[in-house]
Amino acid sequence: MSRLSRCFNIDDLRHAAQRRLPRGIFEYVDRGTEGETLLCENRAAFDRIRLRPPVLEDVSGRSLETTLFGKPLAMPMAIAPMSPAGLLWHEGELALARAAASAGIPYTLPTESMTVLERIAEAGGRLWFQLYLWNDRKLSHALLERVERAGFEVLVVTVDTSVMPNREFNSRNGFAMPIRPSVRAAIDVALHPRWLLGVLARYVLASGLPKAANHPEAYRNAIFRKPPDDATGISRSMSWDDLRLLRRKWPRPLIVKGILRADDARKAVDAGADGIVVSNHGARNFDSAVASIDALPAIADAVGDRATILLDSGIRRGSDVAKALALGAKAVLVGRPALWGIAVAGEAGAHHALDLLRAEFDKTLGFAGCRDVQALGRDLLAEGTRS
């Protein structure tokens, strides 16, 4: 049996990834912030939602297809932007982009990726680009022009990282950015030779240590060394005016990622956003934030008729996708599950993660008496679960 065929669900994939990765890297991906109450809450909130499955509905010939921004999607999912993909697998962003393309869904390349955006664009498929606005707005706007020239379809502007999150375990593991070499980290890496040879050594032999590849030349060593100044640091002063300016500069669909309040969703749509990602950043930023799935209904009610609503944070089962759609999302972003996939087996691993979610989602549709994703609605929710 291959490694992947022993992974029957996303949690199996997570455990397989844990065995393969140095602890510092595994925890960097896996964990939350401070007391990690939100990490638990993201799961608990999905589990609290119960469905009332109808019977004797014809659910043969089910279809998972939908459309997003006027284009067809094989299933209502996209891969979320996640900066360390290139540390989990050599050129992990390419693996994610290819897995997404063959699954018929978009991949979102993060600003901080270790593979340059023009190379990802060559891989084809539906590509979105996630933007962290830098302190030096001019550098961000120049990056935006490159993203547009490279043909990315959608811009995803992340707005929920207004301060540096408090990830104590990263500091303990010596994994705070920029990464500091330490005896502890060296032992950790030495104990994981497959990762050392299959990932790190391949970068070193090809082009040196991994870098923040989309940054301007002078700032490209930010992963292991401090950049020369703070010009490409994530802006702590980003405002609605910045968003409006990005809207004017970007001619294609624009999504705002990291909204948890209906009033902010309204402001984002008023500023010209075509879509909203209801997200708490996978519980990686603010431990006291609300679970995204709990924030979703009010946001869908407020702007669902004016914008495309997406959701992420805590999706681990196909039934979670169905619950998000029933509560008003058009699609979800898949986060850590895709990273566990590439950590275990690159593109094939990410594909496996998406296959697991697809199969579970399809079964949920069947049990819920739905022949297509449009049939998922609030009437499915058990009384008292959600209004």
Ligand X SMILES: Cc1cc2nc3c(=O)[nH]c(=O)nc-3n(C[C@H](O)[C@H](O)[C@H](O)COP(=O)(O)O)c2cc1C
Residue 20 engages ligand X in binding (rule: CB under 6 A): no
Range 67-86, binding ligand X (CB under 6 A)? 80-84
- Distance (Å) of CA 135 to CA 61, 97, 230, 242, 244: 51, 28, 7, 11, 16
CA-closest candidate to residue 25, choices 207, 192, 211, 201: 192
Q: How far apart are the first and last CA of the chain?
A: 45
Tokens linked to 130:
């996630």
H-helix or E-strand containing 73?
strand 71-73
Residue 257 engages ligand X in binding (rule: CB under 6 A): yes
Residue keyed to tokens 């022009």: 145
What is the closest distance, in whole angstroms, from the C-beta atom of residue 281 to ligand X in the complex? Answer: 5
Q: 282 or 349: whose CB is closer to ligand X?
A: 282
Question: Which listed range, 14-22, 57-65, 205-213, 279-287, lies at the site for ligand X (CB under 6 A)?
Answer: 279-287
What is the closest distance, in whole angstroms, from the C-beta atom of residue 313 to ligand X in the complex? Answer: 4
Show the site string, 326-365: x = touches ligand X by CB under 6 A, - = not: -------x-xx-----------------------------
Show the site string, 83-122: x = touches ligand X by CB under 6 A, - = not: xx-------------------------x-x----------
Residue 215 engages ligand X in binding (rule: CB under 6 A): no
H-helix or E-strand containing 309?
strand 308-311
Residue 285 engages ligand X in binding (rule: CB under 6 A): no
Tokens linked to 179:
């990464």
Q: How far apart are CA 176 and CA 84, in angstroms?
A: 13
281 part of the active site: yes
Q: How far apart are CA 75 and CA 362, in angstroms?
A: 10
Catalytic positions: 281
Q: Which residues bind ligand X (CB under 6 A)?
A: 29, 42, 80-84, 110, 112, 130, 158, 257, 279, 281-282, 284, 312-315, 333, 335-336
